[in-house]
């Protein structure tokens, strides 16, 4: 295959998260945003060390299980990868991806344990497949939209980045993974600033006003928090917008509206100053019978009902930690966010210690523990890598829920050095998990149970939960 040339072929499989593998002329190309079974044409856009990357041009034959996408933005929008697959097929695809990524770890474990036989049979005993999300549409409790233009010098847009584009924004007025309230709020804000002729912040020139719109809506309580993120390069009276938003007919209820000012050049939502325009700067969500106060920047699983399945699985995997009813065991919840997992385990533990780098989330975790009447939780703000050195207590069990990059190698070593009997590792990126498992297995841990849990229907993401025990 040559760069710049157009080829045709069948998509053999999709690798995590959305890489189509196409075999053609005895070579293999990776083409994003395809489906297994599709016949596609693609142009080779890169070729390095014999590996070709292609850009999808056209779907020549549909995949056998392909359906019409329910979302009109699907072809353009960079948010979802699998709107055109029935949910059962999405699950099968993610299950295969996780299994495939963890296969080397299973092989390593089998070899270390000196087990003979078929690798596939061995995996079948430990890998439990995938659990689906209880809701597959309108499931998100948080969405971060970007301002930009639909195309160069086109109209103001508010929505998601276009597939494969750094600049263009797709105004996702009909997005299917958020509910109607989000769509109403998005439409209202976009219409308002279009009328105002407000500018958006240009990512290269670093000029302009509008940056992001963050909307969070609790699935259980219906409370909504809205944050408009702008630079300080223009002055706009946002009070009329607040009036428009608060008079929208919504299914939920607006708890607060914030204006966050951010003049940094990085394309992330952060705050130099936040002004409260309406209501309060937090909202409440409920999960597995506990109540959580959530603020603008606190991490909280983005699919509340799906998170219940995830956390239940983690709790089940960890098993009985009550020490025959004595409740004297210490659990570390590392990368604890707003302390959800710590609080779920607290009723059966002696003590739970959560470690989290974002201070705002740690404060929220403390408030939440109090709110839920839990007195045996402690939350420490800081980097796991450093905090571990300062904690005097030793854990009996550890729960790990790191961000996408996985665990820092030095932090992982310190975690292993505790030598606890059981670790539950929750991972939002199976490629990182596969890397960390290699180290854990090499140093004496074995995978006892593994399952994928789908928190993000229609997208390429998937969570994996793994129970590790000390041999």
Cα distance between residue 459 and residue 95, in whole Å = 14
- What is the distance between the alpha carbons of residues 34 and 219, in angstroms, rounded to a whole number? 31
CB nearer to ligand SAH: pick between 258 and 355: 355
Find the shortest distance in angstroms from Cβ 336 to ligand SAH. Answer: 5
The residue nearest ligand SAH at its CB is 337
138 DSSP assignment: S
Is residue 458 within 8 Å of residue 82, measured between CB atoms? yes
Beta carbon of residue 186, minimum distance to ligand SAH (angstroms, whole number): 25
Ranges of beta strands (E only) in 218-304 are 223-230, 253-261, 273-279, 282-287, 290-295
Name the catalytic one among 71, 175, 428, 466: 428
CA distances 253 to 173, 222, 316, Å, are 20, 6, 34
**Which CB atom, from 8 or from 286, has the smaller least distance to ligand SAH?**
286
In terms of C-beta density within 10 A (0-12 exposed, 13-18 middle, 19 or more buried), how is residue 340 classed? buried
- Of residues 102 and 399, the one with the C-beta less far from ligand SAH: 399
Q: How far is the CB of 384 from ligand SAH (least distance, A)?
A: 4
453 DSSP assignment: E
DSSP 338: T
**Cα-based angle 433, 389, 447 (whole degrees, multiple of 5):** 25
In the complex with ligand SAH, the residue whose CB is nearer, 227 or 345, is: 345
Q: Give min distance, CB of 383 to ligand SAH, in A.
A: 4
To the query of whether residue 80 is one of the catalytic residues in this protein, the response is no
Q: Given the complex with ligand SAH, which of 370 and 386 has the nearer CB atom?
A: 386
Q: Which lies closer to ligand SAH via its Cβ, residue 176 or residue 295?
A: 295
Which stretches within 236-346 are classed as H helix? 239-246, 304-318, 340-345
Please report, as ranges, the residues that interact with ligand SAH according to CB under 6 A: 299-301, 335-338, 340-341, 355-358, 361, 383-384, 401-403
433 HSE (CA, 13 A, CB side): 29
Describe the crossing of helices 430-442 and 409-417 by its angle, rounded to 10 degrees: 40
Closer CB to ligand SAH, 27 or 312, in the complex: 312
Closest CA to 86 of 61, 63, 67: 67
Rg over CA atoms, the chain: 24
Helices (H) and strands (E) in the chain, counts: 10, 22
Residues recognised as catalytic: 428
């Amino acid at each position: 295959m040559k760069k710049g040339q157009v080829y045709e072929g069948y998509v053999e499989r999709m690798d995590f998260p959305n890489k189509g593998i196409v075999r053609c002329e005895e070579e293999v190309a990776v083409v994003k945003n395809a489906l297994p079974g599709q016949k596609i044409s693609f142009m080779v856009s890169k070729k390095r060390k014999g590996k070709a990357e292609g850009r999808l041009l056209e779907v020549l034959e549909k995949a056998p299980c392909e359906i019409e996408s329910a979302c009109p933005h699907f072809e353009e929008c960079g948010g979802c990868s699998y709107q055109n697959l029935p949910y059962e097929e999405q699950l099968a695809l993610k299950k295969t991806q996780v299994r495939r990524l963890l296969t080397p770890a299973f092989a390593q474990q089998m070899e270390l344990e000196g087990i003979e036989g078929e690798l596939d049979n061995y995996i079948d005993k430990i890998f439990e497949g995938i659990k689906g999300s209880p809701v597959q549409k309108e499931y998100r409790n948080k969405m971060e939209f970007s301002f930009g233009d639909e195309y160069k010098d086109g109209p103001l847009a508010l929505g998601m980045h276009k597939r494969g584009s750094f600049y263009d924004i797709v105004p996702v007025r009909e997005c299917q993974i958020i509910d109607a309230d989000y769509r109403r709020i998005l439409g209202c804000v976009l219409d308002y600033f279009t009328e105002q002729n407000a500018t958006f912040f240009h990512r290269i020139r670093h000029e302009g006003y509008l940056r992001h719109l963050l909307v969070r809506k609790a699935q259980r309580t219906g409370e909504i928090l809205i944050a408009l993120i702008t630079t300080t390069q223009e002055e706009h009276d946002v009070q009329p917008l607040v009036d428009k938003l608060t008079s929208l007919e919504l299914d939920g209820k607006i708890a607060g509206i914030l204006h966050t000012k951010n003049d940094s050049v990085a394309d992330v939502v952060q705050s130099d100053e936040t002004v409260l325009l309406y209501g309060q700067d937090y909202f409440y969500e409920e999960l597995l019978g506990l109540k959580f106060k959530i603020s603008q920047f606190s991490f909280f699983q983005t699919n509340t009902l799906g998170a219940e399945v995830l956390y239940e699985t983690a709790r089940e995997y960890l098993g009985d930690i009550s020490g025959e009813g004595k409740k004297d065991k210490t659990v570390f919840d590392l990368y604890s966010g707003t302390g959800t997992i710590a609080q779920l385990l607290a009723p059966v533990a002696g003590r739970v210690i959560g470690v989290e780098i974002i201070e705002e989330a740690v404060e929220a975790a403390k408030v939440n523990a109090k709110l839920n009447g839990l007195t045996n939780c402690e939350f420490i703000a800081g980097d796991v890598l450093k905090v571990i050195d300062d904690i005097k207590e030793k854990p009996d069990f550890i729960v790990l829920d790191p961000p996408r990059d996985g665990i820092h190698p030095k932090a992982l070593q310190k975690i292993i050095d505790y030598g606890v009997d059981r670790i539950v590792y929750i991972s939002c990126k199976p490629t990182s998990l596969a890397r960390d498992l290699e180290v854990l297995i090499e140093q004496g841990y074995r995978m006892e149970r593994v399952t994928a849990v789908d928190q993000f229907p229609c997208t390429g993401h998937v969570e994996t939960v793994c129970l590790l025990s000390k041999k």
